[in-house]
């Protein structure tokens, strides 16, 4: 497949109990992941979707920074990242993620890294997740019953 072709991937979720789900990463050998809502709604058996989104943004930025550093022949020490997500209620009283603050930490002193100015100018552009979240992602939703019959959603969902 050429690098400019559209790509897709899939996941499958299965409810384990209450709000706990098992996430399978289709067509890969990646181990299943448990997700759950936080107490008191869930039982904290795994990260909830909000935490996964913050982790995805931070991980992608860290990987993009590493990619950009290596592009200029750097062999950086281990990178670190911290993310802090802010949730607030919208005009309808629903919780929404309103901000994700990510702090990246280089494993080296800045002076030993080649072309650090260029790295810092471009690494965020390599981050698929962050740039997608910043732009907004179209999400289409369908709901089917146990027999596979699609159910109508208000507004054409």
Question: How many Å from the N-terminal Cα to the C-terminal Cα in the chain?
Answer: 32
Q: Return the pLDDT at 157.
A: 54
**In total, how many domains does the chain have?**
2
Q: Return the pLDDT at 140.
A: 82
**Residue 2 placed within a domain:** no
Same domain (yes/no): 19, 58: no
Same domain (yes/no): 34, 53: no
- CATH number of the structural domain spanning residue 152: 3.30.300.20
- Domain span at 150: 48-156
Same domain (yes/no): 79, 125: yes
Same domain (yes/no): 86, 141: yes
Per-residue pLDDT tens over the stretch 2-61: 567 899 999 999 999 999 999 999 989 999 999 999 999 999 999 999 999 999 999 999
Confidence check: pLDDT of 117 > 80: yes
Q: What is the pTM of this model?
A: 0.88
Distances (CA, A) of 83 to 6, 74, 105, 141, 148: 29, 25, 12, 28, 39
């Amino acid at each position: 497949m050429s690098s400019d072709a559209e790509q897709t991937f899939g996941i499958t979720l299965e409810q384990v109990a209450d709000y706990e789900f098992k996430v399978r990463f289709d067509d890969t050998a990646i181990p299943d992941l448990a997700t759950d809502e936080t107490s008191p709604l869930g039982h904290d058996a795994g990260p909830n979707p909000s935490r996964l989104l913050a982790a995805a943004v931070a991980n992608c930025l860290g990987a993009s920074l590493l990619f950009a550093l290596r592009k200029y022949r750097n062999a950086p020490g281990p990178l670190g990242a911290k993310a802090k997500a802010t949730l607030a209620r919208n005009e309808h009283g629903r919780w929404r993620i309103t901000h994700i603050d990510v702090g990246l930490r280089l494993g080296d002193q800045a002076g030993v890294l080649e072309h650090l100015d260029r790295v810092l100018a471009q690494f965020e552009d390599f981050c698929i997740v962050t740039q997608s979240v910043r732009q907004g992602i179209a999400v289409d939703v369908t709901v089917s019953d146990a027999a596979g019959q699609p159910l109508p959603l208000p507004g054409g969902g």
